[in-house]
Amino acid sequence: MQVNPTSDEKETGRIEAFSDGVFAIAITLLVLNIRVPQTQEVLPSLGLLTLLLRQWPFFLAFFLSFMTILVMWVNHHTLFNHIRRTDGPFLFLNGFLLLLVTFVPFPTALLAEFIEHSEAKVAAVVYSGTYLCIALAFSALWKYASTNYRLLDKHISRAQVERINIHYRVGPPAYLVAFVVSFLNVAASVGICMLLALWFTYTASFSRRLNS
């Protein structure tokens, strides 16, 4: 099993490259959700500027989903920095995570379309629910890989593993709160998602050297 260690690294390298491709495409497709106003929609009483300003939910959703997918990509890399082997269940869990990542443009567009509508709650539930699932998938992926150093690089210290554990202990409950709140108050739920995106962007950007 340890006859050819480089083959393992090649293997994780491939999964990482494929995942990177999926992240890069999903993040770039988000802009397609922002509809371009048509010339015939502009009336004397309704200028282009007003039309664009009315589309604020689409710009907000674009920004929010971009930040979130970017942070997920950074996290995915941090995670793969510590992994040296792959096996079946890990591949399966990573595939499930990618399924959710490629799905993100849909709840994003749904939220933008309905955020000012009386049925905004349904859209917010789908939106925060998707992110809750992603947070759970990430935690499961890390837990599976790190339990008993199953797929980890042996040179990583227990302290480092523990530091990432803390990171993954925060995500699921935080998105669970956003999910529960979405049944009660749309603005509060979206606000929590936004704060989480900014917070994770901040920690992902500024604590990377600690983790890697």
Which residue ranges make up the site for a second copy (CB under 8 A)? 1, 7, 11, 14, 17-18, 20-32, 34, 36-39, 42, 47-49, 52, 62-63, 66-67, 70, 73-74, 77, 86-89, 91-92, 95, 98-99, 102-103, 105-106, 109-110, 113-114, 117, 119, 122-123, 126, 201, 204-209, 212
SS3 87: coil
Which helix H or strand E contains 69, and what residues bound it? Answer: helix 56-81
How near is the Cβ of 26 to a second copy at its closest, in Å?
Answer: 6
Strand, coil or helix: 86: coil
Q: Which is nearer to a second copy, 61 or 173 (CB)?
A: 61
Dmax (CA) for the chain in angstroms is 75
Place of tokens 């849909």: 106
Least gap, CB of 66 to a second copy (angstroms): 5
Cβ proximity to a second copy: between 25 and 173 the closer is: 25
Residue 24 is inside which H or E element, if any?
A: helix 5-29
Q: Least distance (Å) from a second copy to the CB of residue 95?
A: 5
- Residue 151 CB, nearest distance to a second copy (Å)? 12
Q: How far, CA to CA in Å, does 140 sit from each of 27, 74, 114, 177?
A: 23, 17, 31, 19
- 15 vs 170 by CB, closer to a second copy: 15
Residues in the chain, overall count: 212
Task: Tell me the HSE value of 199 on the side-chain side, using a 13 A CA sphere.
Answer: 11
Sorted by sequence, the CB contacts under 8 Å of residue 134 that are 6+ apart come out as: 72, 97, 100, 101, 104, 175
Nearest distance, CB of residue 167 and a second copy, angstroms: 15
Min. distance of Cβ 70 from a second copy in angstroms?
A: 5
Closest CA to 87 of 165, 12, 5: 12
Output 62 or 179, the one with its CB closest to a second copy: 62
Q: Is the Cβ of residue 7 or residue 157 nearer to a second copy in the bound state?
A: 7
Whichever of 63 and 169 has its CB closer to a second copy, that residue is 63
